[in-house]
Amino acid sequence: MSAQRTTQKVTLAKGLNMGLRAAMERDDKVLVMGEDVGKLGGVFRITDGLQKDFGEDRVIDSPLAESGIVGTAVGLALRGYRPVVEIQFDGFVYPAYDQIVCQVAKMHFRSQGRSRMPMVIRIPFGGGIGAVEHHSESPEAQFAHTPGLKVVACSNPVDGYWMLQQAIACDDPVVFLEPKRQYHADKADLDVDATPQPLFSSRVVRRGTDVTVLAYGPTVKTALKAAEAASNEGRSLEVVDLRTLSPLDMAPVYESVRRTGRAVVCHEAHVNLGMGAELAARITEECFYSLEAPVLRVGGFDTPYPPSRIEEDFLPDLDRVLDAVDRSLAI
Amino acid sequence: MSQTSGFGPDLAEVFGPSQQDGGPELVQLLTPEGERVHHPEFDLDFSAEQLRGFYRDMVLTRRIDTEATALQRHGELGIWAQLLGQEAAQIGAGRALRPQDHVFPTYREHGVAWCRGLDPLRLLGLFRGVDQGSWDPEEFHFGLYTIVIGAQTLHATGYAMGMQRDGVVGTGDPDRDAAVVAHFGDGASSQGDVNEAFIFAASYNAPVVFFCQNNQWAISEPIERQTRIPLYQRALGFGFPGVRVDGNDVLATYAVTQAALQRARDGQGPTFVEAYTYRMGAHTTTDDPTRYRLSDDVEHWKLKDPIARLEVYLKRNGLAEGSFFGDIKDEADQLGATLREGCKAMPDPRPSSMFDHVYAEMTDELAAQRDGFAAYLSTFADAAEEA
């Protein structure tokens, strides 16, 4: 009965919006800042209605300058606020890269723990929306490589709702990656009275026995579709939604790979030095004697993100995941 | 010759030789010769005690700088960023602060740190390589030294935006109203972050004073490489006032900064203060200015020394009793000895301390790396005191 009362079907965009609202209601130090986040509600409408309800002091339309957004958010955090900044698109984060890497990431360390940076940097990431250049990128490895930052990626509306609130409550800076292709796609049942899974933990989202497929953000859906297709051919894929990229939560991954003996990593980011490289290294170190095949990586090619008419050839899809599964099982 | 093209004045005239000594807009209350002059907007009455205080601050700040430079030469510091010649700019700006105001420094604001009550020994930690800033910014209302040029101007602006939200701006209560000072230099004025800070501060009317010490040099590059107009004139383009003050005149710097701070505390928004001064020393102890500038220029600026002019004024007007100058010198000697001893006694941090504050909430994977490092260290015979 109570489930009926609190459960509703929401998109990822709605889940994130509800998560932001809940965090702002809970703590009046939470501020939202970014380009077009106020009246417009963000170009993806993630902040829709928040300025109307929380006012211009808490939902701040910023000048069009990403370093300025993150840099002033540093000052707000030093003053005791918990800024949630929106970078409008992944490819526009680079003007803020210096502030994120040199200031946000290092402030707590530099100050010997005296100055905290409870900041969330929301970045819509990934491709598949037919956009022009700079609107479809996957910069996660560049942030996961930076000590002092935590990096997470949600893949579905329920995680969007909970993970965003958990990231805001975290006393460390969190780069929060949102698969923009999923914003207005599938709906899911959100129970706001449920107990959420801890933020920095991965999750097995489909049980299987033959190959472990590791995914996060937009590729979780791809991996699940591949698992469904594989099952029709008598192959059983286990799918892990990593959810957290820094720190990585490897325990469920190791447990899975020790059972299956095979792993395929799938992300939209370029394969070279991407998250898959780190995952493959760690799996090799920890599961060496359980592995039946090398860890394989499926990802964006090592080209710049291509013109959108061929982006589906660049992005890993169901067939490329299954191709990697075939290659893994052929060894 | 003025241009008649319709594009405004000849910039060569605006930025020409007449600007070399700061130009006609320079706010000055004490000339290089120690003459007290008056200014229609920024004049203040200074008590003898206040003037003696400025003198003491500047002499001791110079001593900190001299000692630290020597400590670097002796191998006790890895590097030191010298402030020689900029004492008046920093003491004027530092003494204009109220306790509740907040400062965002570069790595050269040793004089401002002194005014904030920070033990100068703590400044040395960063340059010795034993820490990266050992004070609590909230305790001293003085941020950690920022190495990336100009990055702190955005932090200052955001902090000022926080003050606006905290209701400590424009209430009329002098013990409550607060403002922020963002320090930076002429080189930083070319950085995107500084220009973005101007835009954010203007857009939100944030209570921040942008205090630029134009010491004429960004390492080897002269001011002409950074700007074609006097820096203070840029402020107008961003929509707030700019003023150029004689940065070697502690009285004028104090008066102008105090007025700018009050403007900010009152809720009237940002101000740009260009303290026109000169970097008498090297950029840092690793720099060799003889490769890029003439000793004639340095000699020219020696005549404008900030301490000498105040000393002349105090003596000529009988504002300090006979023992005053000797007492200050003794105090400086004592400070120097304390710094020398204290610096050498600074212990290296424990190697494993590098893991301590990467995160507020330690991660399992970093804890595992730390523990692995500790286990590795323990395999050495002399391990006990290492970790």
pLDDT tier at B1, thresholds 50, 70, 90: very low
| B362/A47 Cα distance (integer angstroms) | 31
pLDDT digits (tens, 9 = 90+) for B307-326: 999 999 999 999 999 899 99
pLDDT digits (tens, 9 = 90+) for A196-224: 999 999 999 999 999 999 999 999 999 99
Region B107-136 average pLDDT: 97
pLDDT, mean of residues B38-58: 97
CB atoms A78 and B143 under 8 Å = yes
Instruction: Verify whether the Cβ–Cβ distance A112 to B357 is below 8 Å.
Output: yes
Q: Which domains does chain A have, with CATH numbers?
A: 2-191 (3.40.50.970), 203-329 (3.40.50.920)
Whether residue B12 has pLDDT greater than 70: no
ipTM of the complex, rounded to two decimals: 0.96
Mean pLDDT of A152-157: 98
Which range has the worst mean pLDDT, A125-129, B9-13, B206-210, B338-342? B9-13
Exposure pattern of B133-154 as b/e (b: 16+ CB <10 Å)?
Answer: bbbebeebbbbbbbebbbbbbb
Distances (CA, A) of B295 to B287, B288, B302: 15, 12, 10
Looking at beta carbons, which residues of chain A come within 8 Å of B168? Answer: none
Question: Parallel, antiparallel, or unpaired: how do β-strands B217-218 and B208-214 relate?
Answer: unpaired
Count the Cβ atoms, other than its own, within 10 Å of residue A184. Answer: 13
For B238-257, the pLDDT digits (tens) are 999 999 999 999 999 999 99
* pLDDT tens-place string over residues A8-27: 999 999 999 999 999 999 99
pLDDT of residue A1: 46
CB within 8 Å: A72 and B356: no
Which residues have a Cβ under 8 Å from the Cβ of B151 and sit 6 or more positions away?
Answer: A71, A98, A99, A102, A103, B193
**How many percent of chain B have pLDDT more than 90?**
90
Interface residue A193 vs chain B (CB under 8 A): no
Q: Mean pLDDT across the stretch A157-183?
A: 98
3-state class percentages of chain B: helix first, strand second, coil last, to nearest 5: 50, 10, 45
User: What are the phi and psi torsion angles at A178 (to 5°)?
Assistant: -120, 125
Is A64 in the B-facing interface, judged by CB distances under 8 Å? Answer: no
pLDDT of residue B322: 85
The confidence score (pLDDT) of residue B16 equals 59
Query: In the A/B pair of chains, how many CB contacts fall below 8 A?
Result: 135
B285-315 pLDDT, tens digit per residue, is 999 999 999 989 999 999 999 999 999 999 9
Amino acid in position B107: Y
Answer whether B3 touches A (CB < 8 Å).
no
DSSP β-bridge partners for residue B244: B274
Are B164 and B192 spatial neighbours (Cβ–Cβ below 8 Å)? Answer: no
Q: Is the pLDDT of residue B360 over 90?
A: yes
Q: Which of B144, B158, B199 sits opposite A63 (nearest CB)?
A: B199
Mean residue pLDDT across chain A = 97
Exposure b/e, A4-28, CB count within 10 A at least 16 = b = eeeebebbbbbbbbbbbbbbbeeee
Can you give the pLDDT at residue B11? 65
Spatial CA neighbour of B91 closest among B144, B50, B44, B32: B50
Pull the structure tokens for residue A77: 């955090």
Q: What is the pLDDT of residue B383?
A: 64
- List, for residues A238-287, the tens digit of each pLDDT value: 999 999 999 999 999 999 999 999 999 999 999 999 999 999 999 999 99
d(CA A103, CA B220): 26
Q: C-alpha B81: how far from its chain's center?
A: 11
CB distance from B167 to chain A under 8 Å? no
**Residue whose C-alpha is closest to residue A321's, from A243, A256, A235:** A235
pLDDT of B138-176, one tens digit each? 999 999 999 999 999 999 999 999 999 999 999 999 999
d(CA A215, CA A271): 13
What is the predicted pLDDT for the residue at B257? 98
A145: annotated active-site residue: no
Alpha carbon of residue A319 to chain centroid: 23
Distance set, CA B278 to CA B86, B93, B298, B334 (Å): 7, 16, 8, 28
Over 60: is that where the pLDDT of B237 sits? yes
Q: Which residue of A has its CA nearest to B180?
A: A75
Interface mutation target, options B358, B364, B366, chain A, most CBs of A under 10 Å? B358
Q: Is A88 on the interface with B (CB under 8 A)?
A: no
Taking the Cβ of residue A306 and every Cβ of chain B, the question of whether any pair is shorter than 8 Å is answered with no
Structure tokens given for B248: 């070697």
d(CA B341, CA B121): 10
Q: Looking at residue B14, what is its pLDDT? A: 63
Q: Which pLDDT score is estimated for B15?
A: 61
Average pLDDT for residues B56-71, to the nearest whole number? 98
pLDDT confidence of residue A143:
98
A78, A99, A108: best to mutate for the B interface, most B CBs within 10 A: A78
Arithmetic mean of pLDDT over chain B? 94
SS3 B272: strand
* CA A274 and chain centroid, separation: 14
* Sign of the dihedral through C-alpha B360, B361, B363, B367: positive
A159, pLDDT greater than 50 = yes
Judged against a pLDDT cut of 60, whether residue B2 lies above it is answered with no
Question: pLDDT tens across A33-91, in order?
Answer: 999 999 999 999 999 999 999 999 999 999 999 999 999 999 999 999 999 999 999 99
